[in-house]
Chains A and B, each alone.
Chain A
Amino acid sequence: DAGVTQSPTHLIKTRGQQVTLRCSPISGHKSVSWYQQVLGQGPQFIFQYYEKEERGRGNFPDRFSARQFPNYSSELNVNALLLGDSALYLCASSLVRGPTDTQYFGPGTRLTVL
């Protein structure tokens, strides 16, 4: 079975631009979470979506938004990019939304903002 997939693998943008990152969860998983991992740090929680609704949000500005589609795939959008948005963006899926669920991560999208 395929794991969590993310696209694109790498992305280079300039300040002020907008970016969309995509994630497909493990088959059968209904919850998707997004994390930002700045170089040398641990991942930080951005969003959780379950059944197409936002179920949790981390401490990120409104420039960050996301959505989940009927097939449970998800997109993360970041507007007005800043240099500090350069990071590895990780998507994780879990079977349901329960806190006892284990999250399985994709390979990430490395975003570079110039």
Chain B
Amino acid sequence: AQKVTQAQTEISVVEKEDVTLDCVYETRDTTYYLFWYKQPPSGELVFLIRRNSFDEQNEISGRYSWNFQKSTSSFNFTITASQVVDSAVYFCALKIIQTGANNLFFGTGTRLTVIP
């Protein structure tokens, strides 16, 4: 069975602080993809990043960076120099390859509030 755990329900930081959102996943499959999505108050899920299970290189995109560690089944997301516009709910998701299905297994999300 697949499972994604985001233990941090809510996080508040002051603007310009760095913040890391944790994601731990469980799967018996060896081939899978991991995703992060952002959900602002409008409700639409905004795609941020996709990572496959064979690529453990960390990735940086502007103020965003992702740390994928297969040994600990974690795919953490760091926002550097946070801004008020970063306030949203962030979801980590897992997709299994072998079944051929296209569905995502989501965590319960982390609500980030950036205080000006």
Contact = CB atoms under 8 A, between A and B. Distances in A.
Given A41-B108, A43-B45, A108-B43, A99 B100 contact: yes
B42 A107 contact: yes
B104 interface: yes
Interface in A63-99: 88, 90, 92, 94, 97-99
Contacts of A104: 47
B102 A88 contact: no
A101 B50 CA distance: 9
Taking residues whose C-beta sits less than 8 angstroms from the other chain, chain B's interface range is 20 to 34
Interface string B66-95: 000000000000000000000000010101
Contacts of B100: 99
A108 B44 CA distance: 6
Interface residues of A, number: 32
B101 A88 contact: no
Contact of A43 (B50, B101, B106): B106
A56 B43 contact: no
B44 A106 contact: yes
Given A99-B96, A100-B97, A105 B102 contact: no
A99 B43 contact: no
Interface of A: 3, 31, 33, 35, 40-45, 48, 50, 55-56, 58, 88, 90, 92, 94, 97-108, 110
